């Protein structure tokens, strides 16, 4: 069974390790820690409930809600959980949340994910758009976002200053473009 829950300060070390292993643009520990005191940001953890003492962190979505938009700061899944529709489930949960539909415990998303401990941010019910940036070369992610009704709004050259998962081998790295995508609600 998959569980979607609000991250807690006690999850910080696991989130940092997850981001460094899974996401090409991992946030620093200090930046992630600041999320827990922000009234505008949340991190949701997607876990596979095991009979073992610890659950398996399959993925996460980190977002902010300010004004009438929500920015997806990071969305990632461990490799063995990709191509199973879980990114779409996370995006669907965030869309429902933006509409103010996820405010109670034990909410079921397509009978596939149980949602616990999600708190509604003040602005969540007024969200009119979900925004994100994605590496231009990340075709799988782009296709997932397009499938989930995001549209490409513009391209920003040299947005990413380092190659994915590696430090530049020389100072002449030109950067990678980002596609800015938006889903209107």
The tokens for 88 are: 């779409």
Looking at residue 129, what is its pLDDT? Answer: 95
**Span 28-40, average pLDDT:** 93
* Owning domain of residue 10: 2-133
Which of 150, 152, 153 lies closest to 184 in space, CA to CA?
Answer: 150
Confirm whether 146 is domain-assigned: no
Looking at residue 4, what is its pLDDT? Answer: 86
115, 93 contact by CB (below 8 A): yes
Confirm whether 14 is domain-assigned: yes
98, 130 contact by CB (below 8 A): yes
Confirm whether 155 is domain-assigned: no
Confirm whether 152 is domain-assigned: no
Looking at residue 104, what is its pLDDT? Answer: 42
67-121 confidence digits (pLDDT tens): 889 999 999 999 999 999 999 989 988 988 887 765 444 445 444 556 555 665 5
98, 185 contact by CB (below 8 A): yes
Confirm whether 149 is domain-assigned: no
Number of domains in the chain: 1
Give CA–CA dist 25/160, Å, rounded.
Answer: 9
Confirm whether 22 is domain-assigned: yes
Q: Check which CATH number belongs to the domain holding 101 and give it.
A: 3.40.630.30
The tokens for 42 are: 């949340």
Looking at residue 146, what is its pLDDT? Answer: 98
**Is the model's pLDDT at 56 over the cut of 80?**
yes
The tokens for 162 are: 């380092």
144-171 confidence digits (pLDDT tens): 999 999 999 999 998 887 766 555 555 5
Residue count (the chain): 185
Q: Which of 24-28, 55-59, 78-82, 142-146 has the highest mean pLDDT?
A: 142-146
Confirm whether 144 is domain-assigned: no
Confirm whether 170 is domain-assigned: no
């Amino acid at each position: 069974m998959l569980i979607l829950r609000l991250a807690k300060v006690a999850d910080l070390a696991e989130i940092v390790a997850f981001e460094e292993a899974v996401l090409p643009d991992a946030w620093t520990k200090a930046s992630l820690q600041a999320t827990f005191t922000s009234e505008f940001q949340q991190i949701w953890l997607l876990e596979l409930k095991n009979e073992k003492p610890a659950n398996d962190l399959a993925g996460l979505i980190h977002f902010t809600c300010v004004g009438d938009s929500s920015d997806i700061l990071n969305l990632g899944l461990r490799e063995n959980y990709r191509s199973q529709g879980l990114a779409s489930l996370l995006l669907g949960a965030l869309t429902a949340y933006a509409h103010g539909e996820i405010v109670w415990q034990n909410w079921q998303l397509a009978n596939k994910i149980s949602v616990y401990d999600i708190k509604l941010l003040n602005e969540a019910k007024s969200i009119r758009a979900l925004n994100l940036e994605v590496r231009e070369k990340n075709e799988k992610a782009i296709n997932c976002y397009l499938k989930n009704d995001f549209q490409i709004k513009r391209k920003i050259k040299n947005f990413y200053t380092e190659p994915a998962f590696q430090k530049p081998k020389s100072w002449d790295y030109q950067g990678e473009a980002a596609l800015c995508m938006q889903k209107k609600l």
